[in-house]
């Protein structure tokens, strides 16, 4: 009888193990490195964060703070993403441009040229509950160790209210002003540790692979002033704010 129970447990656990492996395999081809490129600079490419393909595959989602606000004109500097090319040792550089940036919720969309990438499926962030098993894939220390996306796994541990730093005057428009006036918004607090290079990484359901958030390393809890700078706490912005940007590009 015990043997039967043990066998049943193995059968029940096996699909869960397989699903995270399959989810990672689906996500990895869509993950890119985001940075700036200047031909005369050494190194020419400077890493700023992680991104992932959405929409028709020509759009790259990332964190707004990973998108450079100012680019040098002489010598010319451009936004660039590094894309994995099957069978090629070095990643391919693709020039990009920002098409939508929400600095209140810290999400952005870039447009790239060339063949579209496999776009990730976006899920329903409002349906996420505390305890949901999640994973995120990105570049925790940039491209220092080469183009090798890294995956971390955990759960959504809480959904606290967060306030991002106020935008500068030049970034204010009607939508931004309405968002600022609305105050804080809920984000996903994670029990997995994200690092600065993970900013912009897709946060996805570990079972389905559907993206439910964008990893963010710049947001702070509203209690920071009372308890001091928090350490070892990682957050992600719900994907619904990126979906709003996507609707605006159609």
For the chain, helix, strand, coil in percent to 5 are 25, 35, 40
pLDDT of residue 248: 85
CA distances to 17, 69, 176, 220 from 171, in Å: 45, 10, 8, 20
Cα end-to-end span (Å), the chain: 59
Instruction: For residues 208-233, give the mean pLDDT.
Output: 68
CB 227 within 8 A of CB 246: no
* pLDDT at 14 exceeding the cut of 70: no
Share of the chain above pLDDT 70, in %: 78
pLDDT of residue 70: 85
CB 152 within 8 A of CB 193: yes
Among 15-29, 93-107, 219-233, the least confident range: 219-233
Give the residue from 68, 65, 92 showing the smallest Cα distance to 78: 68
Q: Which two tokens stand for residue 84?
A: 């994995």
CB 56 within 8 A of CB 99: no
CA distances to 117, 119, 219 from 36, in Å: 20, 22, 23
pLDDT of residue 60: 98
CATH architecture, domain 125-248: Beta Barrel (2.40)
pLDDT of residue 102: 93
The rounded distance, in Å, linking the Cα atoms of 156 and 136 is: 12
pLDDT in tens, 75-124: 899 999 999 888 888 899 999 999 999 988 999 999 999 999 999 999 99
More confident residue, 86 or 58: 58
Q: Which residues pair with 112 in a beta bridge?
A: 96
* pLDDT at 228 exceeding the cut of 70: no
Sheet harboring 161-163: ordered strands across?
185-186, 161-163, 220-221
What are the domain boundaries of the chain?
28-112, 125-248
Among 49-53, 105-109, 128-132, 169-173, the least confident range: 169-173
In this structure, are strands 202-205 and 133-138 parallel, antiparallel, or unpaired? antiparallel
Q: Is the fold of 28-112 the same as that of 125-248?
A: yes
Q: Would you tell me which CATH number, out of the four given (3.40.50.720, 3.40.50.970, 2.40.10.10, 3.40.50.2300), belongs to the domain 28-112?
A: 2.40.10.10
pLDDT in tens, 137-193: 999 988 777 788 999 999 999 999 876 555 554 544 444 444 455 568 999 999 998
The rounded distance, in Å, linking the Cα atoms of 185 and 92 is: 37
In 10 A of CB 46, how many CB atoms?
Answer: 15
Ramachandran quadrant class, 106 (left: phi over 0; alpha: psi -120 to 50; beta: rest) = left
């Amino acid at each position: 009888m015990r043997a039967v129970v043990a066998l049943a447990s193995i059968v029940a656990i096996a699909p869960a193990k397989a699903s995270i492996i399959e989810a990672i395999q689906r996500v990895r081809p869509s993950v890119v490195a985001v940075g700036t490129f200047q031909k005369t600079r050494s190194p020419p490419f400077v890493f700023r964060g992680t991104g992932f393909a959405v929409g028709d595959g020509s759009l790259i989602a990332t964190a707004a703070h990973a998108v450079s606000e100012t680019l040098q004109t002489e010598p010319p500097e451009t936004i660039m993403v590094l894309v994995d090319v099957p069978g090629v040792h070095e990643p391919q550089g693709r020039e990009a441009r920002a098409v939508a940036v929400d600095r209140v919720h810290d999400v952005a969309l870039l447009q790239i040229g060339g063949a579209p990438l496999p776009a990730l499926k976006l899920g329903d962030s409002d349906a996420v509950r505390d305890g949901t098993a999640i994973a995120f894939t990105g570049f925790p220390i940039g491209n220092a160790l080469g183009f090798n996306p890294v995956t971390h796994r955990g759960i959504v541990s809480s959904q606290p209210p967060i306030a991002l730093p106020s935008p500068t005057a030049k970034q204010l428009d009607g939508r931004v002003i309405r968002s600022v006036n609305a105050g804080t918004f809920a984000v996903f607090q994670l029990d997995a540790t994200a690092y600065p290079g993970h900013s912009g990484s897709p946060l996805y359901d570990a079972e389905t692979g559907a993206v439910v958030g964008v990893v963010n390393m710049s947001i702070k809890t509203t209690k920071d002033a009372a308890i001091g700078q928090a350490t070892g706490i990682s957050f992600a912005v719900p994907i619904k704010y990126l979906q709003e940007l996507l609707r605006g590009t159609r």
